[in-house]
């Protein structure tokens, strides 16, 4: 496909306009519909007894005292729930050799991470359920926990799953060219670094939340959840509770943040569905914050050893690295926990021309909470490793960090390009974006100021990153490997009798403004005012089939399906109008809810009038006109496995060499996400993403001790970015629309989180450089920076 259907650039186009979100008013007035707001007749509340050990045999469980508490409805141990569930196994066939044992909702014989649910208590209130949890007695026999990823795979380390011969879940090697040979030679400079990335987690402000209803009479289950992918969850519930898929309805109304955290299969949520079925009454489970920290997926625990080689012109001749990551005791279902590592293998160095490349990834099991896909999956690690090596080696050969990028970034006119790792790139603008970044941040001036600051004992650093982001995925991401995850999305649009449009679409809203941009697209393509467009998302009973929101696909894929449906509906409506008006459809258009003549713009018929004729006075229509006034279209990306975006970012930081504190002074982003539908919403996605990235770079880490005990599972101890620490973030766009769709939009949800850590890492090391030290561990806490500064004293 090529070329836009519509002139989105016309004056007053809804595309490219910062339309205010129609649903925002409801949320600021306290009228949201989050899962915990739901009160249903006879509803009861679940709480879980979770393993206090990272690894332990469960010898016996005594629930008699818990059962006797007034208000307790049921106490379920492992087999009570597990026997109702078909186990799930989180592997994908395209990740060759991957393994992970079958899983069930509750730990039965062995608990394998601290926080794993073991007993479920259902009671009249959550408080009573928690009281009863205290009275459940479990006898454990602690087993040796395996926490350290570096030794998990070694011989002699206890096996987490004795049926497997090692703790290795998956391994992959990528080889392109001949890195070893390329690194030889007298004019080659090589540089090696070991990077450590701490575990962190999503910390959605609304915790994971589920209310499940089961109707015995017709064998139907309704699963209200705070999540991103209703149809995937429908398939999962159907398969593992063994209910016909059509009997499962999944509803996601307002979602209080998700970021990939709420797109997985959690044992406690499945147990809640089972309990509703067993008890035939609605069951609510709202994770408390401790449960969130110890059972929401974590991400990013990686140790990467990387090596770069450049020639004297600063051209990268080879890049090699190996990555070891621990994912907890199982792979998470159904996306698997190997994708993060896979992304790192695929994306490291992606913006640059690199012919000789070697990467090895090892994914191991360990006795910590499970890891899986969280916003910007793999990107923060991939970008930080490559761009840190590039900036460090640039200094090694006395080259400016912007200059070295210009010498290595793939030329803007070189596309399509296939990378050393086999990724297909098209329509990217690395050079233009970098140029625009340099101008926006006033790079030369900053460098000059830096010199004078250093002379005055102020240590400021500038760090950059050039990056790609995976967006608009095709079925090559998950579907190809057998996961029940749709890469296509659908939209239905109908015209009602009053001339308003009703859009239902399978992508979902978690606050990004998805519903708003869908309304903008429908309004623009069809020709009505946006306040005449009502959008429904997040309900399997009411939207076409589709994948939901993940991998930055809402605008690009969901948006395109709306565009196609709006165009199809418009053609239909014009046919009907032409028949009524005794003219040809080609001579008519729709503008602001009115059918007009293309030639002179004269108003011919209001859409409300057309609706009334079709619905109420169809006798006025010729018999051969059978209007539908509804159109459905689906869309998937066919030309490429993924539609990549690119951005260039820069951070300006100050390191206090006495306290180790890092202050982020400024942050700049130039983003190319193709056609921008709503500039304000895109900018806010980037800002929120950057702040999450800064969190990972400077503050956030799930800290475990050697016994696998999570040490900081509260919001007071796990540090997230707060307003006072964050800078204003400056954003510019380069718009290179993708020709894979009419709309031309790519995703924008994850770039900030993917790129910011690299820019911050480079900026901190730039600040530390005159002190002859560096840090390659995230988060870069004051303590770690002081250790880097004063290795002998600490």
Partner 1 sequence: MSQKTNIALSVNGEQVQASVPARLNLVDFLRDHLGLTGSHVGCEQGACGACTLSVDGVMVRGCLMLAVQADGANIITVEAFGESVTGEQLQQSFVEHNALQCGFCTPGMLASGIDYIESGGSTDRTHIRKHISGNYCRCTGYQSIVDAIASVVEGRNSLAVETKQTPGAEESGTSNKRAGE
Binding footprint of partner 1 on the chain (CB under 8 A): 20-21, 24-25, 27-32, 34, 36-37, 39, 70, 127, 131, 202-207, 254-259, 288-289, 510-513, 680-681, 684, 687-692, 714-716, 720-726, 728-729, 752
Residue 711 binds which entry of partner 1, ligand FES, none, with Cβ cut-offs from 5 to 8 Å by kind? none
Give the Cα separation of 601 and 121 in Å (integer): 67
| Three-state SS at 604 | strand
Residue 127 binds which entry of ligand FES, partner 1, none, with Cβ cut-offs from 5 to 8 Å by kind? partner 1
Query: Which candidate, 272, 338, 323, places its Cα nearest to that of 35?
Result: 272
Query: Which candidate, 536, 554, 482, places its Cα nearest to that of 235?
Result: 482
**Structure-block tokens of residue 382:** 């991939």
Residue 681 binds which entry of ligand FES, partner 1, none, with Cβ cut-offs from 5 to 8 Å by kind? partner 1
For ligand FES, give the closer residue by CB, 78 or 721. 721
Beta bridge partners of 110: 57
Per rule CB under 6 A, is residue 32 in the interface with ligand FES? no
For partner 1, give the closer residue by CB, 329 or 757. 757
Q: Give yes or no for a contact between 167 and 159, defined as CB atoms under 8 angstroms apart.
A: yes
Phi first, then psi: what are they for 13, rounded to 5°? -60, 140
Residue 691 binds which entry of partner 1, ligand FES, none, with Cβ cut-offs from 5 to 8 Å by kind? partner 1
For ligand FES, give the closer residue by CB, 254 or 672. 254
Residue 684 binds which entry of partner 1, ligand FES, none, with Cβ cut-offs from 5 to 8 Å by kind? partner 1
Burial class of residue 93 (count of CB atoms within 10 Å of its CB; 0-12, 13-18, 19+): exposed
The DSSP symbol for 261 reads G
- The nearest distance, CB 257 to ligand FES, in angstroms, is 5
Size of the site for ligand FES (CB under 6 A): 3
Burial class of residue 426 (count of CB atoms within 10 Å of its CB; 0-12, 13-18, 19+): middle
- The nearest distance, CB 549 to partner 1, in angstroms, is 12
- Left if phi > 0, otherwise alpha if psi is -120 to 50, otherwise beta: which for 47? beta
For ligand FES, give the closer residue by CB, 28 or 455. 28
- The nearest distance, CB 607 to ligand FES, in angstroms, is 35
Q: How many CA atoms lie within 13 A of 172 on its CB side?
A: 20
Per rule CB under 6 A, is residue 205 in the interface with ligand FES? yes
Residue 492 binds which entry of ligand FES, partner 1, none, with Cβ cut-offs from 5 to 8 Å by kind? none
End-to-end CA distance of the chain: 61
Residue 703 binds which entry of ligand FES, partner 1, none, with Cβ cut-offs from 5 to 8 Å by kind? none
Burial class of residue 31 (count of CB atoms within 10 Å of its CB; 0-12, 13-18, 19+): exposed
Burial class of residue 579 (count of CB atoms within 10 Å of its CB; 0-12, 13-18, 19+): middle
- The nearest distance, CB 207 to partner 1, in angstroms, is 8
- The nearest distance, CB 490 to partner 1, in angstroms, is 24
For ligand FES, give the closer residue by CB, 27 or 40. 27
For partner 1, give the closer residue by CB, 596 or 748. 748
Q: Give yes or no for a contact between 483 and 92, defined as CB atoms under 8 angstroms apart.
A: yes
For ligand FES, give the closer residue by CB, 205 or 724. 205
Per rule CB under 6 A, is residue 511 in the interface with ligand FES? yes
- The nearest distance, CB 205 to ligand FES, in angstroms, is 4
- The nearest distance, CB 151 to ligand FES, in angstroms, is 38
**Structure-block tokens of residue 608:** 């409300």
Distance of CA 729 to the CA centre of its chain: 21
For partner 1, give the closer residue by CB, 258 or 348. 258
Give the Cα separation of 105 and 236 in Å (integer): 13
Q: Give yes or no for a contact between 510 and 257, defined as CB atoms under 8 angstroms apart.
A: yes
| Three-state SS at 734 | coil
Residue 690 binds which entry of partner 1, ligand FES, none, with Cβ cut-offs from 5 to 8 Å by kind? partner 1
- The nearest distance, CB 476 to partner 1, in angstroms, is 29
For partner 1, give the closer residue by CB, 127 or 498. 127
For ligand FES, give the closer residue by CB, 490 or 511. 511
- The nearest distance, CB 224 to partner 1, in angstroms, is 14
- The nearest distance, CB 782 to partner 1, in angstroms, is 18
- The nearest distance, CB 142 to partner 1, in angstroms, is 29
CA angle 656, 658, 662 (to 5 degrees): 25
Per rule CB under 6 A, is residue 257 in the interface with ligand FES? yes
- The dihedral formed by the CA atoms of 777, 259, 327 and 345, expressed in degrees to the nearest 10: -70
Residue 131 binds which entry of ligand FES, partner 1, none, with Cβ cut-offs from 5 to 8 Å by kind? partner 1
Residue 27 binds which entry of partner 1, ligand FES, none, with Cβ cut-offs from 5 to 8 Å by kind? partner 1
For ligand FES, give the closer residue by CB, 213 or 254. 254
Give the Cα separation of 553 and 563 in Å (integer): 14
Residue with tokens 């901190």: 764
- The nearest distance, CB 206 to ligand FES, in angstroms, is 8
Residue 313 binds which entry of partner 1, ligand FES, none, with Cβ cut-offs from 5 to 8 Å by kind? none
Q: Give yes or no for a contact between 132 and 123, defined as CB atoms under 8 angstroms apart.
A: yes
Q: Give yes or no for a contact between 35 and 210, defined as CB atoms under 8 angstroms apart.
A: yes
Per rule CB under 6 A, is residue 608 in the interface with ligand FES? no
Report which secondary-structure segment, H or E, holds 396: helix 379-396
- The nearest distance, CB 290 to ligand FES, in angstroms, is 13
Give the Cα separation of 58 and 348 in Å (integer): 42
Report which secondary-structure segment, H or E, holds 145: none
Give the Cα separation of 686 and 749 in Å (integer): 7
For ligand FES, give the closer residue by CB, 71 or 257. 257
Report which secondary-structure segment, H or E, holds 650: strand 643-655
Q: What part of residues 149-178 is at the interface with ligand FES (CB under 6 A)?
A: none
- The nearest distance, CB 511 to ligand FES, in angstroms, is 5
For partner 1, give the closer residue by CB, 564 or 710. 710
For partner 1, give the closer residue by CB, 227 or 641. 227
Distance of CA 45 to the CA centre of its chain: 29
Residue 304 binds which entry of ligand FES, partner 1, none, with Cβ cut-offs from 5 to 8 Å by kind? none
Binding site for ligand FES (CB under 6 A): 205, 257, 511
């Amino acid at each position: 496909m090529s070329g836009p259907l519509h002139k989105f650039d016309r004056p007053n186009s809804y595309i490219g306009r910062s339309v205010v979100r129609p649903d925002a008013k409801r949320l600021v007035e306290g009228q949201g519909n989050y899962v915990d707001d739901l009160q249903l007749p006879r509803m009861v509340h679940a709480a879980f007894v979770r393993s206090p050990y990272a690894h332990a045999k469960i010898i016996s469980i005594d629930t008699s005292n818990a059962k006797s508490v007034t208000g307790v409805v049921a106490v379920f141990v492992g087999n009570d729930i597990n026997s109702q569930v078909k186990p799930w196994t989180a592997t994908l066939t395209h990740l060759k050799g991957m393994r992970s044992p079958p899983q069930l909702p509750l730990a039965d014989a062995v608990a394998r991470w601290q926080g794993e649910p073991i007993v479920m208590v259902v009671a009249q209130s959550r408080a009573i359920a928690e009281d009863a949890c205290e009275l459940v007695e479990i006898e454990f026999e602690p087993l040796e926990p395996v926490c350290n990823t570096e030794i998990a795979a070694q011989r002699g380390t206890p096996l987490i799953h004795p049926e497997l011969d090692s703790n290795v879940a998956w391994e992959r090697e990528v080889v392109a060219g001949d890195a070893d040979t390329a690194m030889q030679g007298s004019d080659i400079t090589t540089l090696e670094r070991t990077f450590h990335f701490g575990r962190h987690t999503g910390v959605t402000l609304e915790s994971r939340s589920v209310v499940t209803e089961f109707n015995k009479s017709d064998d139907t289950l309704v699963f209200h959840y705070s999540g991103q992918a209703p149809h995937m969850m429908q398939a999962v519930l159907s398969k593992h509770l063994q209910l016909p898929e059509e009997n499962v309805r999944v509803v996601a109304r307002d979602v209080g943040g998700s970021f990939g955290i709420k797109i997985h299969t959690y044992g406690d949520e499945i147990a809640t569905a089972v309990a509703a079925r067993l008890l035939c009454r609605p069951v609510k489970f709202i994770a408390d914050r401790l449960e969130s920290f110890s059972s929401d997926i974590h991400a990013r625990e990686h140790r990467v050893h990387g090596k770069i080689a450049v020639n004297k012109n600063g051209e990268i001749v080879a890049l090699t690295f190996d990555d070891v990551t621990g994912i907890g005791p199982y792979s998470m279902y159904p996306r698997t926990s190997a994708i993060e590592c896979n992304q790192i293998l695929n994306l490291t160095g992606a913006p640059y021309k690199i012919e000789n490349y070697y990467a090895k990834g090892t994914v191991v099991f360990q006795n910590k909470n499970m890891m899986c896909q969280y916003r910007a999956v793999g990107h923060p690690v991939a970008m930080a490793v490559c761009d840190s090596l590039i900036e460090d080696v640039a200094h090694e050969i006395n080259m400016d960090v912007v200059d070295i990028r210009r010498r290595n970034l793939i030329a803007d006119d070189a596309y399509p390009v296939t990378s050393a790792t086999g990724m297909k790139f098209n329509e990217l603008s690395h050079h233009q974006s970098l140029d625009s970044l340099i101008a926006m941040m006033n790079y030369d001036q900053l460098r000059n100021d830096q010199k004078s600051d250093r002379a005055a004992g102020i240590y400021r650093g500038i760090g950059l990153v050039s990056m790609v982001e995976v967006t608009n995925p095709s079925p090559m991401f998950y579907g190809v490997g057998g996961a029940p995850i749709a890469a296509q999305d659908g939209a239905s649009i109908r015209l009602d009798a009053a001339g308003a449009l009703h859009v239902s679409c399978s992508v979902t809203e978690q606050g990004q403004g998805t519903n708003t941009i869908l309304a903008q697209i429908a309004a623009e393509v069809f020709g009505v005012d946006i306040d005449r467009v009502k959008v429904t998302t997040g309900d399997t009973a009411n939207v076409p089939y589709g994948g939901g929101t993940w991998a930055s696909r809402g605008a690009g894929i969901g948006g395109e399906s709306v565009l196609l449906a709006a165009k199809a509906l418009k053609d239909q409506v014009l046919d009907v109008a032409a028949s009524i008006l005794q003219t040809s459809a080609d001579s008519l258009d729709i503008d602001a809810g009115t059918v007009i003549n293309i030639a002179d713009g004269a108003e011919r018929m209001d859409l409300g009038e057309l609706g009334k004729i079709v619905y109420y006075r169809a006798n006025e229509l010729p018999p051969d006109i059978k209007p539908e006034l509804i159109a459905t279209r689906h869309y998937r990306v066919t030309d490429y496995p993924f539609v990549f975006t690119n951005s260039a970012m820069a951070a300006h930081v100050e390191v206090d060499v006495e306290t180790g504190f890092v202050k982020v002074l400024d942050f700049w982003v130039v983003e190319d996400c193709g056609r921008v539908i709503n500039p304000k919403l895109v900018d806010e996605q980037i800002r929120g993403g950057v702040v999450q990235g800064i969190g990972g770079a400077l503050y956030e880490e799930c800290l475990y001790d050697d016994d696998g005990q999570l040490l900081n599972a509260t919001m007071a101890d796990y540090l997230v970015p707060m307003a006072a620490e964050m800078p204003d973030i400056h954003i510019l766009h380069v718009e290179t629309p993708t020709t894979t769709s009419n709309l031309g939009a790519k995703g924008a949800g994850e770039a900030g989180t993917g790129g910011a850590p690299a820019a911050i890492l480079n900026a901190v090391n730039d600040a530390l450089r005159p002190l002859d030290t560096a840090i390659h561990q995230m988060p870069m806490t004051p303590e770690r920076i002081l250790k880097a500064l004063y290795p002998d004293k600490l």
